[in-house]
Amino acid sequence: MKNLRNESLTFKICFRGLMLAAGLCALVALAPRSNANATQLTVNLVNNSGGEICHLYLSPADNDNWGADQLNETKITAGSTRTLQLSWDQSTVKLVAEDQDGCFLSTTVDATGTQVWTITNNTSRDCGS
């Protein structure tokens, strides 16, 4: 009987250790990483459309895993230009803008130097329909 108690105690200690290790691994995986390989990118977003641009997101060129809104709760009004200094660690970046109607516009640019994206009334929009 004493043997079963020791085995049960050993199992509980090992199980708790494994759970602690799994938790630490999850924290490390979710921790912010430095962009040691990131390049500086300047984007001039020219809004020549008739509406406001409410949000701008960045994504890898080959998927739609968007990051945080780059406009920080500001808008780019019709006829305005906004210059954004961005940091990106891949050779290309997808820019995704959301307009006042909730429609999405996107383009892919090289992630170096200065890039200009001009949005007009003819820019293709994805309104989910």
pLDDT in tens, 37-74: 788 899 999 999 999 999 999 999 998 899 999 999 89
Pick the CATH number of 39-120 from 2.60.40.2890, 3.10.20.600, 2.60.40.10, 1.20.1420.20: 2.60.40.2890
Strand order in the sheet with 113-120: 81-88, 39-48, 113-120
The single-letter code of the amino acid at 58 is L
Q: Looking at residue 37, what is its pLDDT?
A: 73
pTM: 0.69
CB within 8 A of 49, min separation 6: which ones? 78, 99, 119, 120, 121, 123
Q: How many whole angstroms from its chain centre is CA 117?
A: 19
Confidence of residue 9 (pLDDT cuts 50, 70, 90): low
Model confidence pLDDT, tens digit, residues 72-124: 989 999 999 999 999 899 999 999 999 999 999 999 999 999 999 999 999 99
